[in-house]
């Protein structure tokens, strides 16, 4: 199912000077009809699942892996809440390195900020979680000594920073395969017109007013 092929049609009166009569119309895909994930699906973890995007995987490959069909890539993007693929889909390892190199140049491996390392006491309890942004000189009392202190800090380079952002993009939440048919049925209903003065059939409406962009 190609998403754009499923979009319904608006017939506009032809604006071209070459038209032979005023009854000539131009078919235009109604881009204002958008698929919406039902609220009950969106709010229930039952219908959604976590998915880790492997290095180099495109949306169509995820669709093939999960739904068995590459043309359902739009389902992957829509249910994952991704609008801008270029900015929101994870880059490959090579792409993120090239991107970071071009962005930072000689400062690629320069320290961007400092963060904590995990620290536990003698009982194995975490007294300092990892990945908290702190100053370079941040210290805490040493849990194994009454007088010493620790500096449980590690530097994060510009490249590591960009890599982490990209890595986070690999974890997406998308529709479970078992609910795919429910989602597609909803989609087809959204793409269907109800009867009105502009109604031609459930897939086509006709208007002579070019400002009317979303007839029902």
pLDDT more than 90, % of the chain = 57
Would you mind telling me the total number of residues written for the chain in this entry?
216
Note the pLDDT of residue 155: 98
Q: For residue range 18-39, list pLDDT tens digits in order.
A: 666 666 777 776 766 666 666 6
Q: Taking each helix axis from N to C terminus, what angle separates 93-104 and 158-168, rounded to the nearest 10 degrees?
A: 140
The ranges of the chain with pLDDT < 50 are 210-216
Residue found by looking up tokens 């000189």 in the block: 137
**Domain positions in the chain:** 3-89+170-207, 94-167
Contact 60, 68 (CB under 8 A): no
- What pLDDT is recorded for position 38? 61
Contacts 24+ apart (CB under 8 A), 84-88: 85/59, 88/169
pLDDT at 214: 47
* Reported pTM: 0.73
- Report the C-alpha gap between 189 and 196 in whole angstroms: 16
Residue 50, Cα to own-chain centre: how many angstroms?
A: 13
* 34-44 tens-digit pLDDT: 666 666 665 66
* 3-class state of residue 152 by DSSP: coil
């Amino acid at each position: 199912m190609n998403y754009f092929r499923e979009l319904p049609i608006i017939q506009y009166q032809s604006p071209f000077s070459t038209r032979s009569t005023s009854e000539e119309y131009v078919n235009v895909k109604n881009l204002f009809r958008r698929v919406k994930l039902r609220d009950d699906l969106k709010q229930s973890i039952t219908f959604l699942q976590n998915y880790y995007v492997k290095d180099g995987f495109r949306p169509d490959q995820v669709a093939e892996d999960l739904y068995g069909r590459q043309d359902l890539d739009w389902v992957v993007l829509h249910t994952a809440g991704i609008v801008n693929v270029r900015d929101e889909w994870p880059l490959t390892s090579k792409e993120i390195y090239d991107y970071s190199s071009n962005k930072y140049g000689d400062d690629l491996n320069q320290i961007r900020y400092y963060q904590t390392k995990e620290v536990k006491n003698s009982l194995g309890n975490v007294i300092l979680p990892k990945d908290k942004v702190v100053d370079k000189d941040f210290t805490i009392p040493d849990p194994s000594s009454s007088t010493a202190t620790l500096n449980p800090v590690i530097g994060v380079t510009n490249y590591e920073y960009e890599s982490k952002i990209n890595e986070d993009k690999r974890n997406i939440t998308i529709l479970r395969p078992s609910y795919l048919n429910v989602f597609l049925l909803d989609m087809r209903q959204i793409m269907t017109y109800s009867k009105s003065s502009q109604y031609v059939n459930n897939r086509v409406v006709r208007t002579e007013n070019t400002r009317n962009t979303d007839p029902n």
